[in-house]
Structure 1
Amino acid sequence: MTATDERPTPAPVSQGRIALRTVGRSASDALRSAGGAVASVGRRVAAFTEPVTGVVSVIGWLVLAAALGAAILAVVLDWVEFAFLAATLLGAVLIAVPFVFGRMRYRVGVELQPRRVVAGERALGRLTVVNDATSPSLPSRMELPVGDGLAVFQLPAIPPAAEHEELFAVPTEHRAVIVAGPAISVRGDQLGLLRRTVRWSEPVELFVHPRTARLKPSAAGLVKDLEGEVTRTITDHDISFHALRAYEPGDPLRNVHWRSSARTGRLMVRQYEETRRSELVLLQVTSAEHYVDDDEFELAVSIFASLGVQIVRDGTTATAATEQFNLRTNTAISLLDDSCRIEPSKSSTVVRTFAREVLRRTPAASVVMLVVGSAVPLAEIRAVETVLPSDAQLFVFRADRGADARIGRTGNAPVATIGELGELPAVVRRVKP
């Protein structure tokens, strides 16, 4: 007998099991189909009743639920007190119904003046409401979300074509993008059981820029001239003259230096040092674990923005980035606007990996500026040098609130420690490659 013959023959699958599985699958499919149909009907019913149910506030639903519960208790326990309670609660909802009727025809505008401020400066807002109806409007309430807050204005009766104006202050203590709007009119009862809202305007953004320090042009070794930054690469086609060499077959005749050729009796051609425009990469690490507190993070953002604004003013080709997004560098205003959106990140960041990902997109970078917090280990900063392009120079700015301003080195990179924003201009002047 062979080994193959010794293998046990598999037991046959009974027809009953197959039928049971088929029935189970059919039942499961049927339940899923029924569930999908019920959900579809539910969505249609909700969409049909939304004009009515949409005006009931959370408090209104709680009152209706309490009225239903009291009515059930009155029937079950035969307590007339619960019947009176149910009638009272239901009556309150019915009395609130007339307050939501009526149509308003407003033209609403929301203005912020100015649209851009520095953190701590004053900003004012203006809400204008024009009655476009042919009859006076009824008194109503207008709500305007402003950042995390809510401004509420009680509008009086406004004659036809008349305008009502409300002024409000916008808190600007902290760097942020504050959204004002949309303006919403609210009709409803004083208890807030029913609430009918109409949106009248679009949101308007107020940019609260970080505080910045004014730096001198060409900060931290930046090159600012028409020829660009001289490199060590020798080429036959450029602007910066380097030396003369003997002519070789294939050299273009336009590079022949005729005076030297006549003097030496042999053809001599010019050689040049390759030049390039400075391309700068400005990075900020936003991982919260690298900063002691929020104040230190804000100091780092101010350092980042100060450097970025001066780079843009110098006309240097630049890339500015955090882990979350790239900032626009076409103008100083656009860079400051984008810096308002920088937020601490809860995710952990490996500085070397972050720098490598950005530098992959900018392989011609000649200067890399890195802004970090005081909790970043120096070993992570040294690791950034391993991903730099050839001939690129790294400069590190380390925010450390309350620390004395100083310049140290880690590897080949200078590390400037900034304790206050006002120290940045003096430190930048002292930073050397």
Structure 2
Amino acid sequence: MTIATRLDTATALLRPAGASLRRFGTGVANVVRPAARVVWRIVGPVLRVITGAGWVVLGLGALAIVLSLVFDWQEFTFLGFVLLASVVVAAFFLVGRSSYGVLIELNPRRVVVGERAMGRMVVTNTGARRLAPTRMELPVGKGVAEFQLPAMTPKQEEEELFQVPTNRRAVIVAGPVESIRGDQLGLLRRAVKWADAVDLFVHPRTVRLASSAAGLVRDLEGQVSSKITNNDLAFHALRPYVPGDDRRYVHWRTSARIGQLMVRQFQETRRSQIIVVQPTGAQFFAGEDEFELAVSAAASIASQIIRDGTQLDVVSEAGPWRTRTVTSMLDSSSRLEYGHTGGFTTLRDLVRERTKRLPAPSVVVTVGGSKLSPGDIRSVQTLFGSDTTHLGVTAELGAQPRLGSVAGMTMLTVGRLEDLPGLFRGLSS
């Protein structure tokens, strides 16, 4: 019998055993997993109160006890019991219940980058007994504000003020507030949440543009397309009457002059629809500051379009923005994160996916950074019909404002946000 034959025979014999072991392992896991969840539900809250320092003390205490038992060293026995006793003593600091009513207020709830935002935390003793001094922690964005509260009698209120940093566009979450019980050595720590989180929207800087998005959409009824229809507003030409035509559109004067019924033809008009594309992928920008300039430019354009009452959609990798009002649009812009790709590798893929359920646009505005090439923007043109106007806005820090045209597409270069109104005035002239 060859070696290959023996290996095949051994494999055939071991395969059923392997399948049985897998089934056994799956059965054991199905039994152990629910039991582990129940145990963790009971033990988890107890283990979570032990801090990192507490685990170190427990570990050193247990190690000292083991060494004392193995080598019969009395010094380690004393050290082990002292360390373990310190954890036991720390547990007494966790005993007790508190009854707080906590209110968090931010004034205002929406600010522009750089504006001052103040917060107020009001803590009330809602119980019927005196509460011992305690420490309150209030997460604000990536930081934590700490407040030391004195002993409080029933119905007593304590007010604490804090300032929220607004140097970057973001949605800053303040809260939830936690009261902290624990020992002075930081071995054990029990936190209780008392209030829900409150959002502070830090909007990007914007500038006011000329009305009607500086000439992007000039007509009130809608944009005239090249499609000919029998019933609309924009007159195109006359043609001979055919049975079934609406007699309301018969041009009687011309019909009487030439002796044949003639009816009006129209160019189809449609409601103005603008789509603003704001990518967030890092490959389109030279840096985060350039990205912030692009977001401010996009928000400025979108704000003016909403004020003019034109139908607007704004899309990015994270999804569509809320554009019902200027405030909701700015709230959406505050949530953008630099470098978020959303799984899209190209600008064309992003626009195709995010606009496939939107109405056909009359204008598409693409806002990007210095690394967004005209080729990227031209790739978007192929997704829409010939009636769609395309505008590219490039944010390039420190660049001279420029207005030009590439392959029939208007291109704006913005070096500062203040350049945008002048460029749009040149666009509409």
Q: Residues 92, 304 of structure 1: CA spacing in aligned structure 2 closer, same or farther, 3 A cutoff?
A: same
Pick the aligned partner of 1:300 from 294, 301, 324: 294
CA contact (8 A) 1:123 1:171 kept: yes
Query: How far did residue 201 of structure 1 move?
Result: 0.9
Counterpart Cα distance in 1 of 2:300 and 2:211: 12
Counterpart Cα distance in 2 of 1:245 and 1:173: 64
Counterpart Cα distance in 1 of 2:297 and 2:245: 49
1:383-410: CA deviation from partner (whole Å, max 9, x where unpaired): 2222222211100000000011111222
Alignment of 1:378-389 (within 5 A): 378-389=374-385
Counting aligned pairs with the same residue, the percent is: 48
CA contact (8 A) 2:318 2:340 kept: no
Pick the aligned partner of 1:179 from 149, 166, 173: 173
What stretches of structure 2 of length at least 5 have no aligned partner? Answer: none
Query: How far did residue 20 of structure 1 move?
Result: 5.4
1:157-214: CA deviation from partner (whole Å, max 9, x where unpaired): 1111121111100000000000001111111111111111111111110000000111
Q: Residues 22, 242 of structure 1: CA spacing in aligned structure 2 closer, same or farther, 3 A cutoff?
A: closer
CA contact (8 A) 2:317 2:340 kept: no
- Structure 1 SS opposite 2:418: helix
Q: Which residue of 2 aligns with 1:429?
A: 425
CA contact (8 A) 1:363 1:389 kept: no
**TM-score normalised by length of structure 2:** 0.92
Q: Which residue of 2 aligns with 1:75?
A: 69
Q: AA paired with 1:349?
A: T
CA contact (8 A) 1:374 1:399 kept: yes
Q: Which residue of 1 aligns with 2:392?
A: 396
CA contact (8 A) 1:381 1:410 kept: no
Alignment of 1:220-259 (within 5 A): 220-223=214-217, 225-259=219-253
Counterpart Cα distance in 1 of 2:36 and 2:142: 34
CA contact (8 A) 2:222 2:271 kept: yes
Q: Which residue of 2 aligns with 1:202?
A: 196
Pick the aligned partner of 1:283 from 277, 280, 286: 277
Query: How far did residue 84 of structure 1 move?
Result: 2.2
Q: Residues 164, 20 of structure 1: CA spacing in aligned structure 2 closer, same or farther, 3 A cutoff?
A: same
Q: AA paired with 1:370?
A: T
CA contact (8 A) 1:231 1:275 kept: yes
- Structure 2 SS opposite 1:387: coil
Counterpart Cα distance in 2 of 1:38 and 1:247: 83
Query: How far did residue 23 of structure 1 move?
Result: 4.2
Pick the aligned partner of 1:361 from 350, 357, 368: 357
Q: Residues 18, 292 of structure 1: CA spacing in aligned structure 2 closer, same or farther, 3 A cutoff?
A: closer
Q: AA paired with 1:400?
A: E
CA contact (8 A) 2:320 2:354 kept: no
Q: Mean Cα displacement is larger for which, 37-46 or 119-128?
A: 37-46
Counterpart Cα distance in 1 of 2:14 and 2:116: 75
What is the RMSD of the two structures over their aligned residues, measured on CA atoms?
Answer: 2.3
Q: Residues 14, 125 of structure 1: CA spacing in aligned structure 2 closer, same or farther, 3 A cutoff?
A: closer
Counterpart Cα distance in 2 of 1:270 and 1:310: 37
Query: How far did residue 315 of structure 1 move?
Result: 0.7
Q: Which residue of 2 aligns with 1:350?
A: 346
1:162 is the counterpart of 2:156: yes
Query: How far did residue 143 of structure 1 move?
Result: 0.9
Q: Mean Cα displacement is larger for which, 261-270 or 101-110?
A: 261-270
Query: How far did residue 17 of structure 1 move?
Result: 7.9
Q: AA paired with 2:267?
A: E
Counterpart Cα distance in 2 of 1:410 and 1:96: 72
Q: Residues 266, 161 of structure 1: CA spacing in aligned structure 2 closer, same or farther, 3 A cutoff?
A: same
Pick the aligned partner of 2:93 from 78, 93, 99: 99
Q: Residues 243, 183 of structure 1: CA spacing in aligned structure 2 closer, same or farther, 3 A cutoff?
A: same
Q: AA paired with 1:99?
A: F
Q: AA paired with 2:305?
A: I
Q: Which residue of 1 aligns with 2:416?
A: 420
Moved over 4 A (4+): 11-21
Q: Residues 354, 48 of structure 1: CA spacing in aligned structure 2 closer, same or farther, 3 A cutoff?
A: closer
CA contact (8 A) 2:126 2:154 kept: yes
- Structure 2 SS opposite 1:421: coil
Pick the aligned partner of 1:64 from 52, 58, 70: 58
Q: Residues 39, 225 of structure 1: CA spacing in aligned structure 2 closer, same or farther, 3 A cutoff?
A: same
Counterpart Cα distance in 2 of 1:313 and 1:304: 14
Q: AA paired with 1:152?
A: E
Q: Mean Cα displacement is larger for which, 168-177 or 98-107?
A: 98-107
1:147 is the counterpart of 2:141: yes
Counterpart Cα distance in 1 of 2:155 and 2:191: 22
Q: AA paired with 2:331?
A: D
Q: Which residue of 2 aligns with 1:5?
A: none
Q: AA paired with 2:69?
A: V
Q: AA paired with 1:151?
A: A
Pick the aligned partner of 1:29 from 23, 29, 46: 23
Counterpart Cα distance in 1 of 2:8 and 2:397: 78
